[in-house]
Structures are given as C-alpha cells and as structure tokens.
Structure 1
Amino acid sequence: MGSYAGFDIVPRLTKGVVDQHNWERLLKTIRERYQNDDQVEAKPNYIAFKSNPDLLLPLECHKFLRFGATIPNEDSSGLRNYIDTVTRVASGWFGSRVRDWDEGEGVSGYYALNDFDEPEVPTTIAQFVLGIDPTRKLNLPLYEMKPVPGKGQGLMARFNIAKGQLIISEKPFFTASNATSAATIEKQISIELRKLPKDAQRQFLSLHNNFPGKKPFSGIVRTNALPCGPDSSIGGIYPTISRINHSCLPNAHNSWNSASGYENIYAVRFIAAGEEITIPYDHGGPSDERRRHLKDAFGFDCDCSICSRQPAELKQSDERRRQIQRLDGEIGNASRLMYSPGDCLKDCQALLQILEEEFDGSPGAHLARLYYDAFQICIVHGDQARARALAERSYKARLACEGENNPETKRIQKLMENPKTHASFGWSIKWKSLKNQVPRGLSSDEFEKWLWRQGK
C-alpha cells in the first residue's frame, strides 16, 4: 500500500505563449536540478522519472495532465522527494494555480481521472515528425500583405496564430514628434529620407496618405505613425507595421520596446488563417468619440465590427465603454485609493467583468493595466499576499501582449517576486499580510472571493 500524491494545475495549461513560456522555464529548472541524476531522463518529447512510469513532464505544456504517483510506504527510490521538488518548482512558475494533494492526508486531486482528455494528435507533418510548431521553428512569416476592400493594404494571417504569439517585430524608418508643426516634420523627414536605401524610400512613399497637399511627408507621418509607448508624443513609421489597419475590437496589440527600439505586434486572441490582423488606433470611449477621433487624426470613417453593429447593439457597447471610462477614473482617484480601498478594489472587479464582455474575452493590454491598478491598491495598504497574486496576473497579461523582454514586463515580474519593493508599499498597514500568505487548497471561486476581498 501507499499514498497517492502529486499536483494538478488549475485551470489546465493551454497552448498560449504565457503558459508555454513558464512551462519551458520549469523544464529548464528540472533539467538543471537533475542533470547528474540517472533516474531522470530527458526524452525527445518529455522528461521521464524512472522511479515511476506515471511521472512525466511533456515538452508541450498543454499536454500536461497531472504529476503524481502512488508513493509506497517504504520509499526506497526517493519518489516522494521527486514529487515534492517538482511541486515546488511548479509553484514558483505557476503560483496559486498549482494544487498539491496527498490522499494519505485526506486531500484528493483537483481533477478526477475521467476529467482528462486524450492527448492531442499532431495536426501537421512537421509536428508529427519533428515535434515542432513549423511556423515558429522554421521562421515562416505569420502574415502576408494584401489589399483589403475599403482600407488599402492590410496584413492577413497566413496561419492560425495563437493568443500571445509575437506576429512581427520591426524597427521604424524613423520617428517624429506629433507636437511639431507640419512644416518642421516635412523638413525633418526629407533629411531622414535621403539617409535610407532606395528600396526603403520607396516603401515609405508607398504608405497611404489621408492628408494630401503641399506637405506629403507630414501627411504620411500623420496617417501612419504609431506612438512609441503609451501617451508618447513621438511616433514611429514602419515598413510593414504601418500597414496594419484599425479595429475598435482588435485581435492584436502594438507594443513599443524602449530597450530594443522595436515595435512588436502580439496576438491578443486566436487569429484564424485568412483573418485580417488589426490593432486599435483610438483611446476608447463610446463610438461617436472614437469615430470623431479617428476621422480627425487619421482621416477615415471607422466601420469595424463594433461601429457597424445594429443601433441597439451599438448602444449597449457604448454604455459599456462609458462604464469602462468611469470605473477607470474612479480607480485612479488617489484620495479614494487611500481612504476607500475596498470600494476601489470592487471597482476593479467590476471593470474586469465589463472588459471581458466588451472585448469578447480578450481585453489584452487593458487586463495588464487593470491587474496592476489592483496590485497598487493592495500594496499601498500593506497586503503583500494579494499584491503578489495580482502582480502575477498583470505579469502574465503583460507577457502575452508585450513579451518577456519588454522593460515594463520585467518591472512587473520583479514586483511579482517581491511586492514590497514598490515605492508605495506600507503607506498604510490596514490590510497587512506577508507575500507567502496566499491561501492554498481553495477552489477557483473561493480564490476569487479571497483575491477581491469579497465579504470583507
């Protein structure tokens, strides 16, 4: 006889870039930990623990079912130590999603065995023969440039693109300030343009100009520049990224990396092959505000999937957008954060639900910002446990839409690891807790209630 013990990951791991990224780091840690242990073997598609055939770690995270085995009363093979070590490593990368169990102590696994699906069958020859994603390993471009009716050129997905996948990374031809006059931009661009190779000059001049006239260069810049970071007055103009069209319900997110000087485009939801890749040019608000801004700033009338909805549906969307603006303002109220933090946290949870509804379950960068706002509310009042959990969520959301090398992603990761390094930590000790006091063994619903301080 013995005790059946191990861990599950709740919810199940997906094919998303965030889960796979963390899983690969887990595997790297395990390989390094057991590199001199002949009882742990790295196979082509998984890591095997010879002490029990059930102890397997697949290289693809979505194929992970659970890690567990029956530990005999006389554990001569060190089975318990393997399980405990891998559980600790998994907790380091997946945090509260790791649910450990030991039936000998009366704690059962989160999932029943019949909850597990059969392993997925590879869908391409490359996956079957090589065990790889061909678009990633063979460096095939995920997009192609094509004419889009009513929009000029646009980028279309060549393959299915997973949520969180980097679609394109590109350096700008040059940058320009939107605070500069058209005449100054015209002069600046004419100088910069001469420095470019002939093919790059042709690429720039082929970009659409919604503001034709005596200053064509400034018109191209005004039409195509993307801000180099949130609220930046500096914009970049790109050979390919500037071809990406707008949608008020985008499937991708544009992110400036100040360290590398590159603009990166990430998928914020699954994008099917043949679907147009879109990003947002606007700053939110109801449809009349968005359309007015887009017309003034870019010279086109938006007819995206939201703006072209039937009046009743558009009215509902507009109301959600107004609620998003209102709640965002309330959450950002410094006085309220200090003296009514519980109300601020409730607003964060309410905003989360509205964002999920308005953006069809893919709020993208909105999610990263929301969780960071909630993190700040908790850390200001000394609650390191909730702050850590919220920073983890913000980090994962940021990783999915901006990548691991983005300076902001790295900053959030450090706060996740040590919340009290935030400058506002300890202004109050109203909610004081330690970072390791995140409760374990809770159901998903129970954890959400704890996280948002429901019933407090």
Structure 2
Amino acid sequence: MDYEAGFDMVPPLTKEPRDQEKWEILIDIVQSIVWYKEIMLFKSNYIEFNIGDHPKIPFEGHKFLSFRSKISNIDPGQTKDMIEEIWVYAMVVFDSRARYWSNKLGGSSVYSWQDVHDSETSYDKRDLQREEKPSTEAPLWTGPNPLEYQHLYSIQSTPGKGKGLIACTRIARGTRVLMESPLFTVTNLALTGIMENDIATKLKSLSKVEASDARRVQIDHLDSSIGNASTVLHKPDDALAACRSLAALLKEEYDVSVGIRLARTYYDAFQICITHGDQARAAVFAKLAYEVRVVCEGEDSPAVGRVKGFMANPKSHRNFGTSMRWRTEKTMVPKGLDDEAFDQWLWRQGK
C-alpha cells in the first residue's frame, strides 16, 4: 500500500530579500547533489523531479508550500530518500519552518491538495527578477553547509567501547550532526498505562538492535520527565509510574550492569513518596537505592551514607510533609505478600 510523505514550509516564505536569499541557498544545495542530477528536469521557473509524483521546487521561494509524493510502502526506493534529504537541507536553512510529515506515521500536510496545486500552478510565471548582489554585501545565511555534515565525524572503533562517532574537526555548538526518524510513535503520552502497553507492543516488533535503541531513547525520555516538579506534586501516581517503567527498562537494557541509574531511579521514587508523606514506601525505595549504590560506590561513599540514613528515618528528608495525601508510617510495610503482590503495593498499582 502506498503512502504520502513530504515537508511543508510553515509559514510560507515572503518576497523579502532575506527569505529569497535563503531559498536560493537551498536551491543551490539541491542542484549540487550528484545523484539528483539523473532525475532533475530543469524548467524555466522550477525544478521537477522525475520520480514518484514528480514533485517540484520553484526558483521563487514565496510560491512554495509543500514538497510531497506518494511512496511505495513495499519499495520506497529513491523517492523516500530524496524527500527526506531535501527536508534535512531545508531544516538546516529554515530550521523548524520546514515541517516533515508522513501519512505512514499518522501525520499530514498543513496545506490542502488544492492549495498545493494552486501554488504549483503559479510556478509557471515568474514574479521576481533575480538581482545581482554586490560582492561586498554580507551574506544573510551564516549557518553550516549541510553538505559538509558527513565530514564532521567518522565512525571508528574505540577500545572496550565498540564503535562510535568521532569528531574530525571542531564542531560549532548547535550544529546538527545526525538526524533519524523515530523507530516508532506512541498514541497517548498522557495515559501512562496505555503508553506502556503501546511501547511494549512496538518494542516486540523491532529487531534486537532496534529494540535496544528504542529502549535507550525511552529511558532518556522517562529520566527527563521524572524531574518535573509539577507532576511530582500534582500527579504523583504518574510520576511513580514513570519511575516503575524506567526501572524495568533499565533492568531489561543493562541487566546486571545497570548501576547508578537504577539507584537514582529508586531514589526518585523515594522522593516522590516522602513528598506525599508515605514513609512506608519511601523506606523501601531508600533500601533499594542503597543496595544498588553501595555495590557501585562502597560503604564509605557520602551518597551511600545519606541514602542509608533515609532508609532508617525517611521523614528526615526535607520534602517530608509537603503533602500528606499518601500518609503512612514506616512500620506499615505489608508482610506476607508474594513478590508480585508486594511489587503491586510498592508501586501503588491499582490505587
């Protein structure tokens, strides 16, 4: 089954010199790509690509709305590569104004078919005359040349760490050196349970390497989201569920070598619980954090000593009493539960 993909310019470019000069830079970049030369048809006022639905790029940027084509889901071939490459170059020049979309990923163009058709019809008549600029005029575009990205780094082996990207030159802060499409998307980030099931289902469909990459992306996402103070205060169940998901992903990805990140996750869970007066769960999470951290750092570590203190007296943490919505005493840890039931209690599942 075919799908449609492309990128839009949002908002459209104006006739102002700054926009037009940037557009000319993009046109120059596109014309310099060697393999495009085999499929480019040069018309008076635009370039047509002899591939897919024959998408077009005008020489006058203010007329451009969208660059799109149908792509075969079975054999996307050069059409998909071309669209994504030109979009990347457009992103370098125009930043977030160049917006990629794909029906396959659930996205769509912000412009209607009729709008795009009308804009492409206007390509046939040139509105602006290209002016020769004095050689002393400072260029309006000072960003990096995207054609040089591939020379910024190389893939090399490093002792004991496998392969990695090694910089070949000084790279300016903010330079984009790598861009990839997401391995998958989830349907609803607001509902934690749905999100977990969605992620689990999609992870199973990925290859071993892809699954590892996807887990690490999700680990970083969850790690960042847990520190949101508003969520901890107003939606603590969501914050604790995120800790649970993160702990599970860390164990799955790193197994016995998970180390400090797992200890930190347990400590985050401790802080969430003690912030809402739950001394029982806080004491358990402090113990879990201690057991992982002491292996990594030893008993003489100040961080280990601090966590050990919270294990003995969780309410000594400065956040205790911020809220008492989960109020429990340290002695209220349930006894006699099997591992699954205890885990359900600890992470407040089914509450």
- Give the structure-1-normalised TM-score: 0.33
